[in-house]
Every structure is written in C-alpha cells, then in structure tokens.
Amino acid sequence: MKCRAGCGACCIAPSISSPIPGMPQGKPAGVRCVQLTAENYCAIFGQSGRPAVCSAFSADPDVCGASDEEAIRLLGWLEQSTAIAV
C-alpha cells in the first residue's frame, strides 16, 4: 500500500521515543509532531534528522485502514495495546 497523501496519522497517533528536531524528548501518543505541516506532510522527510522509526514505517492496510480517520483509530489502538504500563 502507498501512503495516502496528506494523511499524517503516523505522525499523530503513535508515541515516538527518539529525538525529533523541535521535539528533543520525542513525542507522546496522540500529539501532533512539530514536523507535520498544516497539509499533513513530514517537513523533514528524507533528511538525516528524521527518526529511524519514522523512516522505517511502511503503510499497510492493517494499520492504515481505508481512511485517514481509520488510520488514527487503528494506530491509536496499537499504541495503547502495546504500551508498557508504568
């Protein structure tokens, strides 16, 4: 599957523990990445400062569903299901 242009769910729903330019502590789940543009594109796509976890993400129907809204729900559910309780 190819990413849906302007979706951005993978830059909002999951937590990212790696440093991101502008977010040195990473980002919590459900928080919009500061590098996500108003049009929901990654402002640092292809740049060396982009976290490896972001570069490694591949769109897939199992996690992206059939719409941007479904992607937010699925990725959010995966985040919650795999979170380590503290």
All structural domains of the chain with their residue ranges: 9-82
Whether the model clears a pTM of 0.75, i.e. scores above it, the answer is yes
pLDDT (0 to 100) of residue 86? 64
**pLDDT (tens digit, 9 = 90+) per residue, 61-75?**
999 999 999 999 999
Q: Are 15 and 76 in contact (CB under 8 A)?
A: no
Query: How far is residue 77 from each of residues 13, 64, 70, measured CA to CA in Å?
Result: 9, 12, 10
The answer, yes or no, to whether residue 49 has pLDDT greater than 80, is yes
Q: Are 71 and 10 in contact (CB under 8 A)?
A: yes
pLDDT (0 to 100) of residue 84? 78
Q: What is the dihedral of CA 47, 51, 53, 58, to 10 degrees?
A: -20
